[in-house]
C-alpha cells in the first residue's frame, strides 16, 4: 500500500481545537485495518535499521503507533504523558503548542542510561512537544536515535527545534 493512499484518508478539521488550527484527523486510517496495518508496516521499515531499545510514545496519539512498533522492533514501550497522569517518580519538561502551553512527564525508570531511544508521535507541527520529549529522554540519560512522525507540517518548521536529531516522517503536508 502506498503512502498516498494513507494520506488520502487523512481528514482535515478546520478550527479545531480552536479557530485558525487545521486539525489532522487520523481516525479514518485507524478505523481501517488495512490502512492502519500498512502505516505500522511503513513505520517499521523506516525504523528497523536503528535497532532501538526503547520506543517512547508521546501522549496521546503517539501511543497508537509507538506500542505496536515497540513490539515489532523488540523494544520496550515508554510513555511520555501530560503532567499529572503518571503515578510514580518522574521527570518533567514544558513545551509550547501552536495553540497554548503544556508539560509532559516520564517515569524516572522508563529509560536506563545509554539505552537507544526512538520517540514517536502522530504529528510534527511546531516541534514543541517533540523537543520536550527529547528533553525528558536526555534527563533520563537515553541515547536518542531518531524522532518519528506519521505527519509533518513542513511549513511550521518543527524540525528546527529537533535538529540535529534525525527526523523520520511518513507524510509531509
Q: How far is CA 87 from the centre of its chain?
A: 22
Asked if residue 99 is part of any domain, the answer here is: yes
Query: Could you give the residue ranges of the DSSP H alpha helices within 48-167?
Result: 61-72, 128-139, 159-162
* Longest alpha-carbon distance in the chain: 43
**Could you give the C-alpha distances from 84 to 72, 87, 96, in angstroms and in order?**
30, 8, 17
Task: Report residues of the chain scoring pLDDT below 50.
Answer: none
**Dihedral Cα 43, 48, 54, 56, nearest 10 deg:** -20
Angle at 71 between CA 87 and CA 152, to 5 degrees: 80
Asked if residue 13 is part of any domain, the answer here is: no
Q: For residue 7, is it left (φ>0), alpha (ψ between -120 and 50) or beta?
A: alpha
State the catalytic residues. 61, 98
Q: How far apart are CA 110 and CA 12, in angstroms?
A: 34
Q: What is the pLDDT of residue 97?
A: 66
What is the CATH classification number for the domain harbouring 160?
3.40.50.2020
Could you tell me where the beta strands, DSSP code E, fall in 38-99? 54-58, 76-82, 90-97
Asked if residue 9 is part of any domain, the answer here is: no
- Residue in the block written with cell 531518531: 146
Half-sphere exposure of 31 (CA within 13 A, CB side): 7
Question: 75-87, pLDDT tens digit by residue?
Answer: 999 999 999 999 9
Q: What is the pLDDT of residue 96?
A: 76
Domain residues for 97?
Answer: 50-172
Overall domain count for the chain: 1
Asked if residue 23 is part of any domain, the answer here is: no
Asked if residue 82 is part of any domain, the answer here is: yes
Asked if residue 3 is part of any domain, the answer here is: no
Asked if residue 1 is part of any domain, the answer here is: no
Asked if residue 138 is part of any domain, the answer here is: yes
Amino acid at each position: 500500500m502506498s503512502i498516498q493512499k494513507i494520506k488520502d484518508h487523512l481528514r482535515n478539521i478546520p478550527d479545531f481545537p480552536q479557530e485558525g488550527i487545521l486539525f489532522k484527523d487520523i481516525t479514518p486510517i485507524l478505523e481501517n485495518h488495512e490502512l492502519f496495518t500498512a502505516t505500522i508496516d511503513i513505520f517499521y521499515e523506516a525504523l528497523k535499521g536503528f535497532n532501538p531499545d526503547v520506543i517512547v510514545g508521546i501522549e496521546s496519539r503517539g501511543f497508537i503507533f509507538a506500542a505496536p512498533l515497540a513490539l515489532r522492533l523488540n523494544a520496550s514501550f515508554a510513555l511520555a504523558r501530560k503532567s499529572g497522569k503518571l503515578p510514580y517518580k518522574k521527570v518533567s519538561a514544558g513545551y509550547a503548542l501552536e495553540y497554548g502551553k503544556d508539560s509532559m512527564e516520564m517515569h524516572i525508570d522508563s529509560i536506563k542510561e545509554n539505552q537507544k531511544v526512538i520517540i514517536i508521535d502522530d504529528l510534527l507541527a511546531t516541534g514543541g512537544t517533540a523537543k520536550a520529549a527529547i528533553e525528558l529522554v536526555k534527563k533520563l540519560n537515553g541515547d536518542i536515535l531518531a524522532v518519528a512522525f506519521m505527519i509533518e507540517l513542513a511549513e511550521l518548521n518543527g524540525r528546527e527545534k529537533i535538529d540535529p536529531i534525525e527526523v523520520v516522517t511518513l507524510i509531509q503536508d
